[in-house]
Structure 1
Amino acid sequence: MRKVFPSKVDVSLLILFVITSIPAILIGIKEKDWVLFAILIAVFVLIMYLLYDTYYVVTQGTLKVHSGFIVNKNIPIESIILIRKSDSILSAPASSLTDRIEVCYGDSKSIVISPKDRMIFVDELLKQNLEINVDL
């Protein structure tokens, strides 16, 4: 059993990245600063890659959180204590700013994620650990 849950991607987040990137890219072109232009394009591509390469995999006994080459965390499902709604805007392997949940596990560890199908995701975890408290 292996279920993959893509991260929800906020359109507002995409618009924010595009709007903030365009002026800098245009300055690089106008000033004919091709090094700056190349760096800005690379950063833009990296951000887009991270937004779309963020997903969560539920397998037998493990929740895998993946975000590009930056986050690749395996969490034993039996160690998950609580899943709750989160309004945190801190950096996290979540491509949404509005529909985030915090998964608390182990000895006071947690991770903020944003599965697109949140309730189906939570149900999959509950199938393996009925002890998880859910506060959504």
Structure 2
Amino acid sequence: MEKVYKTKIAIWLICVIVGFTVVPIIPVLVYDFSWIGVTIIALILFVALFSIFNTRYTIHNNILSVKCGMFSTDSYDINQIRKIKDTNSILAAPAASLDRIAIYFAQQRTPLIISPKDKIGFIRNLQAINPDIVYLNSK
């Protein structure tokens, strides 16, 4: 059975992305209108928002797949997960919120950092597949 979890999305992140793409377009619109400039900035905004709203985490059998927008899908063996820890790390990650979890694997030094909307359901689903996963809740 396949279970899909969407990423948790922080509204402030959407505002920052829109701000960083809309503010540079103001001079293009006011002083020297250019369809090329408007098109480039609109494409950048589209790609950024598409990536955020299409980030998802899929559990299928013993594989965790992480899809970030239209760019990449990475797969991980759930049986290699050792522990999961709450984090608010700002490291670049396929996570659209700072309410994140760090997933530590047996053969990796760097954790996978993600932000599923249903964090507890996601962790329980992983633990149902691999009961050896330890969840270190910070609350």
- Within 2, Cα distance between the matches of 1:5 and 1:122? 11
Give 4+ residue runs of structure 1 displaced > 3 Å after superposition.
none
Paired residue for 2:8? 8
Q: Confirm whether residue 58 of structure 1 aligns to residue 76 of structure 2.
A: no
Note the alpha carbon deviations across 1:58-85, whole angstroms, 9 max, x for none.
1111111110233311101000111111
Contact 1:55 1:65 in 2 (8 A): yes
Aligned length: 135
RMSD of aligned residue pairs (Cα, Å): 1.2
Contact 2:21 2:44 in 1 (8 A): no
SS in 2 for 1:74: strand
CA apart distance, 1:14 = 0.8
Note the alpha carbon deviations across 1:81-131, whole angstroms, 9 max, x for none.
1111112112110111x2111111131242110000000000000000011
TM-score by length of 1: 0.93
Paired residue for 1:94? 95
Q: Which amino acid aligns with 1:16?
A: V
Q: Which amino acid aligns with 1:13?
A: L
CA apart distance, 1:3 = 0.5
Unaligned runs of 5+ in 2: none
Paired residue for 1:22? 22
